[in-house]
């Protein structure tokens, strides 16, 4: 009997040794060439494979990266991450080297902690195969799925009749309803009604990410399980050699996409070179979408040069071009971040744009702009300085600005191309406003406009309540005849009496609470140049 046990053990041992000795790098580890296999000179021995696994990390040089700043290392970098993803290993760049990445269409999937460290990366965008293909994409290992039997939703609905495998990010669309029907030089026919929110395993909707629309007929719904662990990407000095395409709306991605929840980006730097007198715009070097709980900290980015083109209304427009782009994302924080170029230089576009987001935070940041195009639900700017494009937003919930310096045209500008709408309240505390418009003699805290004649796809609101505490308005250098700053800009110059009828009425602010608001000019804060339009606003001083 003992002989039989020994024989079985010996056979099992041989099988395990055989299986181990036959292990090779999978053919799909990289897809660097037409065959999808690594060149023989880059293939690893079994001893190397076991060594890397036992180390717990891999380097790009292990898979043939040259790091000489000239050789295109994209295939070796992709192979490194593919191996790391398969074996759950950390990836480390080699310190002090320069990785050149050309224009091949080859997005590298990051699914494990990555230390770019003290390495330099050059992204050459002068000739790319696919301008929509990011160089790196931080991806979830989870797969999205379509929840069954969810055909409609109500605004602020607290629970879905559903069971989920865990906390999920749920995205819903009703293509029968159009929202954000844009007005002006970049006018369009709107976008399908979309929302994104968090649901736990029992179907409870996270109250911090409320459902903001009624969905009478859902045409698409997906749920993505949220990654439970935090993935960290740190270090790295990145330089983009800018594209030289014609100046038109053909956006370039070519950066780092974040498509996974619970991610920290720490200590990254991005610079831009090679911008000339023309070029296509960029959609964000850091592009965050379809995820939640992302923090970017201690990071230096760069504003892109502004180029002009013909907009959809047939007139010349400046094209938005971004180093930060956030879409369909929740709980996104930028902490202790800045940019390389002057935040007050109008030759460079505002560094950030976003759509369909909730709970976006700037904390200790020095950026040229905060911007929410197609809506943000809840936003916070604290301990920060914003430059020439200031704060631009539409959305809902609570917008908090505190302990910050704002150097835009307005303290907060409600985007007129989307109806200057904010359904909620503003809280402004301990701030300094340095208006760019002071030389014109028009200084307004809340900017925007709405004629009441355009259908934006929703009722437009101004903040129901605005609370302003301890605000310094630096309005020296004003021209003669200056009347002093106003709370509201003249949102509709034609609305001067009751003969003007709004087809799509703008719901006005009900209450403004002021405490310790001072002006450098010593002139008092007025309500608005349009006293009729804001006649019913209660101002408590």
**Mean pLDDT of the 484-509 span:** 98
In a domain, 386, yes or no: no
In a domain, 387, yes or no: no
pLDDT of res. 208: 97
CB 492 within 8 A of CB 448: no
**DSSP helix/strand/coil, 20:** helix
Domain residues for the domain of 209 are: 142-225
pLDDT of res. 43: 75
Residues 6+ apart with CB under 8 A from 166: 200, 201, 225, 226, 228
- Angstrom distance (rounded) from CA 429 to CA 402: 5
Q: Tell me which residue of 338, 121, 356 sits closest to 240, measured CA to CA.
A: 121
In whole angstroms, how large is the CA radius of gyration of the chain?
A: 27
Residue 77: beta bridge partners? none
Residues 6+ apart with CB under 8 A from 441: 478, 479, 481, 482, 483
Instruction: Answer with the one of 178, 209, 225 that is the final residue of a domain.
Output: 225
pLDDT of res. 44: 84
Instruction: Answer with the one of 177, 198, 225 that is the final residue of a domain.
Output: 225
CA 370 to chain centre: 10
> Do 62 and 48 share a structural domain?
yes
What is the CATH classification number for the domain harbouring 315? Answer: 2.160.20
In a domain, 49, yes or no: yes
> Do 359 and 266 share a structural domain?
yes
Kindly tell me if the per-residue pLDDT of 418 is higher than 90: yes
In a domain, 388, yes or no: no
Residue 316: beta bridge partners? 310
- Side-chain-facing half-sphere of 480: CA atoms under 13 Å: 0
Task: Specify the range with the lowest mean pLDDT, choosing from 21-30, 180-189, 289-298, 414-423.
Answer: 21-30
> Do 156 and 120 share a structural domain?
no
CB 487 within 8 A of CB 442: no
- Angstrom distance (rounded) from CA 363 to CA 358: 16
In a domain, 516, yes or no: yes
Residue 418: beta bridge partners? none
Kindly tell me if the per-residue pLDDT of 402 is higher than 60: yes
In a domain, 174, yes or no: yes
Average pLDDT, the chain: 92
CB 484 within 8 A of CB 519: yes
Residue whose entry in the numeric block shows the structure tokens 């939703």: 153
Instruction: Answer with the one of 225, 250, 265 that is the final residue of a domain.
Output: 225
Kindly tell me if the per-residue pLDDT of 22 is higher than 90: no
> Do 132 and 62 share a structural domain?
no
- Side-chain-facing half-sphere of 61: CA atoms under 13 Å: 12
Classify each residue of 460-475 as buried b or exposed e, where b means 16 or more C-beta atoms within 10 Å of its C-beta: bbbbeebbbeebbbbb
Q: Provide the residue count of the chain.
A: 541
> Do 317 and 219 share a structural domain?
no
- Angstrom distance (rounded) from CA 406 to CA 458: 29
**DSSP helix/strand/coil, 81:** helix
**Mean pLDDT of the 468-490 span:** 96
- Angstrom distance (rounded) from CA 512 to CA 330: 29
> Do 75 and 110 share a structural domain?
no
**Mean pLDDT of the 406-413 span:** 97
> Do 243 and 276 share a structural domain?
yes
pLDDT of res. 23: 30
Measure Cα distances from 421 to 98, 449, 500 in Å: 47, 10, 20
CA 157 to chain centre: 26
DSSP codes of every residue in 334-371? EES-EESS-TT-TTB--SEEEEEEEEEEEES-EEEEEE
- Outline where DSSP puts E strands in 3-135: 57-59, 68-72, 90-92, 98-101, 108-110, 114-124
> Do 539 and 528 share a structural domain?
yes
Neighbours of 458 (CB within 10 A): 22
Q: Tell me which residue of 451, 459, 450, 447 sits closest to 528, measured CA to CA.
A: 447
pLDDT of res. 42: 61
Residue whose entry in the numeric block shows the structure tokens 């990266």: 65
Give tens-digit pLDDT for 75-113.
Answer: 999 999 999 999 999 999 999 999 999 999 999 999 999
DSSP codes of every residue in 194-212? EEEEEE-TTSBBPTTS---
Count of structural domains, the chain: 4
> Do 268 and 339 share a structural domain?
yes
In a domain, 363, yes or no: yes
State percent of the chain over pLDDT 70.
Answer: 92
In a domain, 334, yes or no: yes
> Do 284 and 243 share a structural domain?
yes
> Do 7 and 58 share a structural domain?
yes
Give tens-digit pLDDT for 47-65.
Answer: 989 999 999 999 999 999 9
Measure Cα distances from 394 to 34, 101, 155, 315, 378 in Å: 47, 38, 18, 24, 10
124 vs 10: which has the higher pLDDT: 124
pLDDT of res. 5: 39
Residue 197: beta bridge partners? 170
> Do 60 and 125 share a structural domain?
no
């Amino acid at each position: 009997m003992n002989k039989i046990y020994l024989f079985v053990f010996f056979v099992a041992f041989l099988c395990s040794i055989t299986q181990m000795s036959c292990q090779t790098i999978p053919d799909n580890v990289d897809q660097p060439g037409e065959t999808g296999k690594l060149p023989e000179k880059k293939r690893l021995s079994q001893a190397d494979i076991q060594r890397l696994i036992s180390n717990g990390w891999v380097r790009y040089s292990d898979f043939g990266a040259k790091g000489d700043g000239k050789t295109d290392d994209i295939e070796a970098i992709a192979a490194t991450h593919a191996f790391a993803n398969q074996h759950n290993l950390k990836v480390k760049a080699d310190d002090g080297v320069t990785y050149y990445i050309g224009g091949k269409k080859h997005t590298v999937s990051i699914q494990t902690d990555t230390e770019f460290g003290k390495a330099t990366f050059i992204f050459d965008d002068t000739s790319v195969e696919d301008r929509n293909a990011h160089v790196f994409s931080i991806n979830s290992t989870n797969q999205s799925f379509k929840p069954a039997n969810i055909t409609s939703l109500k605004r602020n609905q607290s629970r879905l009749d559903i069971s989920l495998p865990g906390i999920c990010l749920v995205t819903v669309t009703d293509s029968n309803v159009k929202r954000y029907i844009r007005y002006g030089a970049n006018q369009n026919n709107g976008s399908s009604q979309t929302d994104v929110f968090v649901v736990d395993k029992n179907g409870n909707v996270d109250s911090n990410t409320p459902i903001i629309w009624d969905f009478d007929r859902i045409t698409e719904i997906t749920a993505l399980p949220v990654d439970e662990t935090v993935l960290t990407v740190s270090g790295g000095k990145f330089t983009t050699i800018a594209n030289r395409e014609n100046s038109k709306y053909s956006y370039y991605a070519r950066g780092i996409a974040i498509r996974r929840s619970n991610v920290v980006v720490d200590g990254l730097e991005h610079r831009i070179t090679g911008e000339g007198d023309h070029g296509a715009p960029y959609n964000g070097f850091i592009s965050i979408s379809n995820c939640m709980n992302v923090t970017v900290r201690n990071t230096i980015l760069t504003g892109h040069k502004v180029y002009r083109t013909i907009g959809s209304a047939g007139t010349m427009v400046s094209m938005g071009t971004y180093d930060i782009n956030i879409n369909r994302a929740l709980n996104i924080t930028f902490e202790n971040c800045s940019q390389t170029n002057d935040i007050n230089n109008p030759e460079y576009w505002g560094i950030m744009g976003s759509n369909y987001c909730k709970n976006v935070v700037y904390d200790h940041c020095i950026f040229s702009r905060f911007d929410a195009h197609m809506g943000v639900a809840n936003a916070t700017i604290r301990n920060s300085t914003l430059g020439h494009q200031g704060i631009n937003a539409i959305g809902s919930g609570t917008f908090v600005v505190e302990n910050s310096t704002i150097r835009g045209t307005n303290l907060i500008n409600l985007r007129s191309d989307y109806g200057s709408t904010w359904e909620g309240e503003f809280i402004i505390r301990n701030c300094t406003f340095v208006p760019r418009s002071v030389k014109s003699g028009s200084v307004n805290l809340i900017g925007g406009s709405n004629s009441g004649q355009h259908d934006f796809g929703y009722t437009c609101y101004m903040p129901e309540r605005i609370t302003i505490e301890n605000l310094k308005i630096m309005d020296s250098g004003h021209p003669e005849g200056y009347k002093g700053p106003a709370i509201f800009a003249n949102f509709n110059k034609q609305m001067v009496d009751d003969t003007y009828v709004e087809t799509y009425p703008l719901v006005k602010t009900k209450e403004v609470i002021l405490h310790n608001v001072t002006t450098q000019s010593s002139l008092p804060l007025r309500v608005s140049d349009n006293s009729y339009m804001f006649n019913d606003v209660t101002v408590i001083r």
